[in-house]
Each structure stands twice: as C-alpha cells, then as structure tokens.
C-alpha cells in the first residue's frame, strides 16, 4: 500500500509545540524520532532489544529530532501535506518573532515528503529466510517454502511475523542445537521469551512432555500460538503472555531463555525458582564480552556451568541447578562439537567456572 510520509525537522524544544500544530493542521497521529529517546534507552538496559540494536542507532544519535506524519497517497493526503507546510512556515515566522518565548528554537522546520510503499521493505527479509538445517536433525522452513527432509529429521515450519525467531540468528541456532542434545522424553520445558515460538516447537518435537512458551509481548504470543498450531504440537506446547519476574505457575525440568545478558542476570533467581531440583537452564543471547557477567549470576544462584557454546560474537550457556550442595549429577553433558564451541575448564584459554 502506498502512503505519504511527511517529515518535519525540529529541535528538542520544538517537539511539543510542533506536535500540537501538526494535530491542529489535521494530522491524526504523529511519530516522533527523538535521538534523546535512544540515550534514555542506553541508560535503561533492562529493555530486551538493546544488545541487538545495530550501528545505525549511533548514526541516529547525531540526527536532529523529526516528526513524521503518515497520510494516504491521495488528494486528502496531499492536502494535509500542504497544510503541514503552511503550519511549519507560520511556526518558523512566529518563532522568529519570539512567540514561543525568548530564544526558543524550533529547529529548521524543514518539511520533506516521500511516497512510500510498505510492501517495499515489509517482505524484503523474506528473501534471506530460506529452508536450512540448523542442527544435526532440525530443519527450519519458512511457511511459504517447501523443503525435503530425511526420516529422522525434525521439520519446523515458521512464519515469524513481527516476532523474533527464524532460527537464522546465532543465539537461536545455538539454543536449537543445545535443545536437540538435552531434551529428554517427557520433560517439562519452559521457554522464556518465546518470540516466534520456535524453541517451544523444537522442544515439543524433540519429545518434551509439556512445553510452556511465555513472552511479555502479546504480538509474539499470537505469532507463537499460530506457529505451534501449524507445527501440530498444540497437544504438548502452548504459548501464553507472561513475565517471569511476576511469577508463572510452572515448574520445569529445563528452562531455555534466549534473552540478553542483563535480562538473564535479572531473571536467574526467578528461573532457579521455576526449575525442578537438578533441572537445567540454557541461556542465550549473550554477547561474548558479557559471558562472565552471566556466569557470575548463574553461579551465585547455585548453578553449575556445564558447557558454553560460541558463534560469532554470541554465546550460549548450559547450566545445571545443583541438587542440595553437591554437584549436579546428571552426568549427561552433551559433547561439545565444532571449532567455535568451548567447554568450561577444557583449556580454551578462558577462566573456568
């Protein structure tokens, strides 16, 4: 669908008065791009996405605040664009004669218009999401593609929609490989931050007896439910909106959380509380430079680190909850495989746990 994007460049002090003027000119809603918000987010790292924010954010930091109005690509949209231009001009004149207070700077108030097509970018990512083998047995296939698999393979069909979790990201693929090697028949699995539901579906297909995927984002829960259904595992797996810090009535043999380092640290006590004695925790979404931070939090909570996998700049940690004060005794630590996988204390140059 085509639409007109009308952008007005302003300043920090211009955001509020200009928003009011644009609404007066007939804008039904506005979007504010304020570099200061990014600074606020940097200060508040408890928000999930932070580690994933890409370098373009840094570029945005140097930009001036902008206000965007979206209008239909028709006569009414073009009329609105004209009214906005006029309002911006008037505001510039008013500001120049001090109508907004002495020295109040509304910025350049430059107005630009662009006709956009939401189909342009919306489906672009689909070109990069093709069927692929993510681990020894697990094959991921987008719902709009077909692929061939071997009898012993586990096929997961995914449409991630707006949720995270195609399996192509290192953090998800390491979780899938670890799940493949750790899930035992009949186990209960808690997937904390289920996103597209991909890890819940994998756990169910790997033989788990009961799987609960939770996510704070209602859109992710909707997407996860759809994917669970289309993979035929709704008898075992379910997705619910939930926040682990607020308590979820579920005790698991295995918790998998592909979150981010700070969030894992924050949630580790809650995860320990949701694990059966001797249970396991796969944590992922950890930048390698934050590995020690997460290890520290896990150890403080009585976890024993059994394995650390690395891919690119990411790592995933398999940890066991010790039974009482003796070492966790589930001797089955899956073999580490591949050159970028490290076992703690196996002479890989890192300080062992």
Q: What is the DSSP string of 231-280?
A: TT-TTTEEEEE--GGG--S--EEEEEEE--HHHHHHHHHHHHHHEEEEEE
Nearest-angstrom CA–CA distance, 5 and 247:
42
Using CB under 6 A, which of the segments 62-70, 142-150, 188-196, 304-312 binds ligand SAH? Answer: 188-196
Check binding of 180 to ligand SAH (CB under 6 A).
Answer: no
Check binding of 343 to ligand SAH (CB under 6 A).
Answer: no
Residues 52-111 close enough to bind ligand SAH by CB under 6 A: none
Which run of H or E residues covers position 18? helix 15-24
Beta-carbon contacts of 1 under 8 Å, excluding residues fewer than 6 positions away, are 117, 118, 119
Q: Which is nearer to ligand SAH, 4 or 154 (CB)?
A: 154
Could you tell me the smallest distance in angstroms from the CB atom of residue 169 to ligand SAH?
6
Q: Are strands 252-258 and 314-321 parallel, antiparallel or unpaired?
A: unpaired
Could you tell me the smallest distance in angstroms from the CB atom of residue 221 to ligand SAH?
9
Residues 238-257 close enough to bind ligand SAH by CB under 6 A: 243-245
Instruction: Name the DSSP class of 198.
Output: H
Q: Which is nearer to ligand SAH, 219 or 289 (CB)?
A: 219
Residues 205-244 close enough to bind ligand SAH by CB under 6 A: 214-217, 220, 243-244
Looking up tokens 């607020």 gives 246
Q: Which is nearer to ligand SAH, 245 or 348 (CB)?
A: 245
Q: Which of 194, 231, 236, 283 is the binder for ligand SAH (CB under 6 A)? A: 194
Nearest-angstrom CA–CA distance, 287 and 306:
18
Phi, psi values for residue 331, rounded to 5°: -65, -10
Check binding of 142 to ligand SAH (CB under 6 A).
Answer: no
Q: Which is nearer to ligand SAH, 66 or 137 (CB)?
A: 137
Using CB under 6 A, which of the segments 70-78, 125-133, 159-167, 231-239 binds ligand SAH? Answer: 159-167
Compute the half-sphere exposure of residue 236: CA atoms within 13 Å on the CB side of its CA: 24
CB-CB contact of 307 with 336 (8 Å): yes
- Residue ranges binding ligand SAH (CB under 6 A): 48, 163-165, 172, 175, 192-195, 198-199, 214-217, 220, 243-245, 258-259, 263
């Amino acid at each position: 669908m085509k639409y007109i994007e009308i952008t007005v460049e302003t300043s920090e002090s211009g955001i509020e008065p200009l928003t009011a003027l644009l609404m007066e000119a007939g804008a039904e809603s506005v979007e504010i791009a304020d570099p200061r918000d990014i600074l606020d987010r940097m200060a508040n790292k408890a928000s999930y996405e932070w580690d994933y924010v890409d370098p373009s954010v840094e570029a945005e930091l140097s930009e001036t605040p902008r206000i965007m109005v979206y209008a239909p690509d028709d006569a009414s949209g073009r009329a609105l664009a004209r009214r906005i231009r006029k309002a911006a001009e008037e505001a510039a004149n008013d500001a120049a004669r001090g109508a907004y207070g002495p020295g109040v700077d509304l910025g350049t108030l430059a107005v630009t218009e662009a006709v956009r097509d939401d189909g342009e970018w919306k489906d672009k990512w689909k070109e990069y999401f093709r069927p692929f083998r993510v681990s020894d047995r697990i094959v991921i296939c987008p719902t709009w593609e077909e692929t061939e698999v071997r009898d012993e393979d586990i096929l997961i069909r995914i449409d991630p929609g707006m949720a995270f979790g195609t399996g192509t990201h290192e953090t998800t693929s390491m979780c899938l490989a670890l799940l493949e090697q750790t899930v035992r028949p009949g186990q209960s699995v808690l997937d904390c931050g289920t996103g597209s539901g991909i890890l819940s579906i994998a756990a169910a297909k790997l033989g788990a007896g009961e799987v609960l995927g939770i996510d704070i984002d209602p859109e992710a829960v909707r997407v996860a439910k759809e994917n669970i259904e289309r993979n035929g595992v709704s008898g075992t797996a379910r997705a619910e909106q939930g926040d682990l810090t607020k308590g979820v009535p579920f005790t698991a043999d295995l918790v998998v959380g592909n979150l981010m380092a700070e969030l894992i640290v924050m949630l580790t006590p809650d995860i320990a509380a949701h694990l059966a004695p001797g249970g396991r925790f796969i944590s992922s979404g950890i930048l390698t430079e934050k590995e020690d931070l997460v290890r520290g939090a896990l150890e403080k909570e009585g976890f024993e680190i059994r394995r650390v996998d690395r891919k690119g700049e990411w790592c995933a940690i398999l940890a066991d909850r010790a039974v009482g004060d003796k070492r966790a005794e589930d001797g089955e630590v899956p073999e580490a495989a591949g050159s970028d996988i490290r076992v703690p204390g196996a002479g890989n140059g890192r300080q062992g746990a």
